Structure 1
């Protein structure tokens, strides 16, 4: 965990220059719902999907109605103290020092996330962190199903991705116009969601269309033909080669063979 925090400092320092950070920390990521794949990791999450989120106080939207696997729950006590400050805000999540390009946003409260120690040992009754959809957590770390939790660090920014009645009274509840689409596949204007200009990358193959990887960020390069997105399945993070514990962890017609999703 300590190494993860140290490795994240450089990225977060640069991020803070352009966007204000209103809450940050390190701890554990867990899951409690999944809109796209309610039958995940040997569990039925469909009932959890019908739960109302804490950030929608008056209209009382539930997770199914919000229809995004990128909604994240944070420390219940903290969010309840100032819903207008935290609800709908963008969250940058890092695993092993690598920031995810997924446009996560705060939408709910998590009782477990407000107590315990960030340095362990893991305690399911109280451990600081964030609560995700299973698909999102599994995309961050393929061990999410086997372990039930993963090590993360995070920063909540003052950028609003989603309007709730608590942070934007009088405005229609939904994704902020022009602020990116915090949907199931990540907001973008390119053909490969989550791999558009500004997304994190390690090579050109991580970037969509004609974009190239420049200093760890997908960028435009008129002198390059870019790369074509690799073949994908309908459930990101659960395609061929992904880690699994059962067939339910694999997308489409793939099956779990020796711990890997296979044809």
Structure 2
């Protein structure tokens, strides 16, 4: 079982309804791997019952059994006294401590996997299974507001001139997953059309070329071509800057 910060560093932080499904599946995998899902996904078992009742029943079931044992035991023999020291409560107490530590670690992982503004909803909840259920009740169902938020993201999708292609395509993929989750999936052709119309000016030549082709590229192909174009433009810009520096040095 890894440290809490090592575990949480591999998780997706919950930011709200937009990434709840991704956060939930990732967190569940982590809890399963760390052997903590039994205290998160379901109500943790109660502390193991003490064997005291069983011991009493066994003792009282045979009135002569206690007398026979008393006659057998030598009260003056220290080794005999140590052998009858009660240990029946040790295992239940160990189980209770193990359960307490698992709940504590699960609660810490759960809280640290939330964006700071969301931690207020679970910071007072001691039981990790109750905290998990509370987050499910908050974000598992889609309201009209949640749907409109995702649709607004799709409508306003844009690649700023300062954003690289990889970051932009990751954003497109995330919005695509959210659209599927709210029941508004988009076809590959529609997504490609949206991307081509929302590229910065430096990609307009490539976008025009793709629009004049007979076959619509897949998202993977489009991403690869955009990254190649980005790399090519970066080389040209570097060469241009180097030429400017040479001319400047020659003049001065």
The TM-score bracket by the shorter chain reads under 0.3
TM-score, normalised via structure 1 length: 0.20
